[in-house]
């Protein structure tokens, strides 16, 4: 008999198939509010994602950004596990490690990783998906910490299989390599409120040279890229955390809540408190359309 149990927490959901004779659709009923993502470990059979012409065939690991209108149809006889996670769960999973930028890049792409019949990678993924389902089902103390650890395993396996997202194309120019190093430094230090001069000094280039590189590669100045990263984190914290505005300001390295508010108003044309209130009201009414929080730089 198929395992159709549905495990639910505030930010992560998971379900499994064990060879049902009928097809199974995962869609609106399983979706989470706001931006979310879906990880699929397919052990046997196939599945089709709405909007994609190519059917995914086992054994495979698939990762997709998810929305309310996303649909996943498991074919009859399919065996596998799927996990849906919210923006806050993904943010906690990625954390603040130096690899965070690479993991964010991976998370915002559609990825499909074929798995051979018997590999250590496949065994590790099977353990991770089973662990997520077990923790959600048992709901023991600190279950979310264990779930995030297993999710991190899944993301790292995707990162290792798709290094081009963080390294850029083979034979990348010196400018692209410098920009990648700059982006990595921004991910590590945007909460420390580093200045453009400090970034350029750390990279061993002049401030003007860094500006030229950023404009050539991304079409933005280095200060714009730094501010954009801070705004992404600001919106994410306002949308998904219970922290007060002054706590968010401190976590992002601002000297005061007033300084943070001026920064936020300059980029969002409204105070952070008003932004949070509007976002929450939109969620209640089902009309919120938050930006993808990891699409940067």
- Kindly give, in sequence order, each residue whose CB lies less than 8 Å from that of residue 89, ignoring residues fewer than 6 positions away: 11, 12, 147, 148, 151
147 and 194 share one domain: no
12-18 and 79-86 beta bridge pairing: antiparallel
Q: Which of 70-84, 139-153, 164-178, 247-261 has the lowest mean pLDDT?
A: 164-178
55 and 152 share one domain: yes
CB 236 within 8 A of CB 199: no
Domain contains 101? yes
198 and 240 share one domain: yes
Name the residue range of residue 115's domain: 6-165
Domain contains 32? yes
pTM of the model: 0.64
Which pLDDT tens digit goes with each residue over 10-44?
Answer: 589 999 998 888 999 998 888 887 778 999 999 99
Report the C-alpha gap between 113 and 115 in whole angstroms: 6
Which pLDDT tens digit goes with each residue over 90-144?
Answer: 888 887 666 777 788 788 788 999 987 667 888 999 999 999 999 999 988 889 8
Task: Output the furthest CA–CA distance in the chain (Å, rounded).
Answer: 65
84 and 222 share one domain: no
Domain contains 89? yes
Please give the pLDDT value at position 5.
Answer: 40
Domain boundary among 165, 185, 204: 165
Smallest CA-to-CA distance from 86 within 101, 67, 105, 102 is with: 67
65 and 92 share one domain: yes
35 and 91 share one domain: yes
66 and 209 share one domain: no
| Phi and psi torsions of 106, nearest 5° | -60, -45
Q: Assess whether pLDDT exceeds 50 at residue 257.
A: yes
92 and 185 share one domain: no
Q: How many domains, in total, are found in the chain?
A: 2
Confidence of residue 172 (pLDDT cuts 50, 70, 90): low
Edge-to-edge strands, sheet with 46-49: 24-26, 72-74, 46-49, 56-57
Q: What is the CATH number of the domain that holds 120?
A: 2.60.120.280
Q: Assess whether pLDDT exceeds 60 at residue 235.
A: yes
Q: Assess whether pLDDT exceeds 70 at residue 166.
A: no
């Amino acid at each position: 008999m198929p395992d159709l149990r549905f495990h639910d927490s505030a930010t992560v959901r998971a379900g499994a198939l064990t060879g049902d004779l009928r097809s199974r659709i995962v869609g609106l009923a399983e979706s989470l509010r706001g931006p979310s993502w879906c990880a699929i470990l397919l052990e046997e059979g196939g599945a089709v994602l709405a909007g994609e012409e190519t059917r995914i065939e086992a054994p495979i690991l698939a990762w997709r950004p998810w929305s309310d209108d996303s649909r996943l149809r498991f074919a009859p006889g399919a065996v596998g596990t799927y996990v849906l996670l919210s923006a806050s769960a993904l943010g906690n999973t990625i954390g603040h490690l130096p690899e965070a930028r690479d993991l964010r890049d991976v998370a915002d792409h559609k990825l499909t990783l074929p798995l051979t019949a018997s590999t250590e990678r496949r065994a590790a993924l099977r353990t991770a998906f089973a662990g997520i389902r077990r923790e959600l089902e048992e709901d023991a103390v600190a279950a979310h910490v264990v779930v995030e650890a297993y999710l991190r395993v899944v993301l790292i396996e995707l990162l290792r299989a798709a290094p081009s997202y963080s390294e850029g194309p083979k034979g990348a120019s010196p400018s692209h390599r410098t920009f990648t190093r700059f982006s990595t430094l921004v991910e590590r230090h945007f909460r420390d409120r580093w200045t453009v001069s400090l970034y350029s000094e750390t990279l061993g280039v002049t401030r003007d040279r860094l500006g030229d590189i950023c404009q050539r590669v991304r079409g933005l100045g280095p200060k714009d890229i730094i501010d954009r990263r801070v705004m992404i984190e600001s919106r994410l914290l306002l949308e998904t955390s219970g922290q007060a505005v002054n706590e968010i300001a401190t976590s992002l390295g601002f000297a005061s809540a007033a300084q943070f508010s001026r920064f936020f108003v300059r980029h969002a044309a409204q105070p952070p408190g008003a932004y949070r209130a509007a976002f929450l009201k939109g969620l209640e009414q089902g009309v919120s359309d938050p930006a993808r929080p990891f699409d940067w730089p």
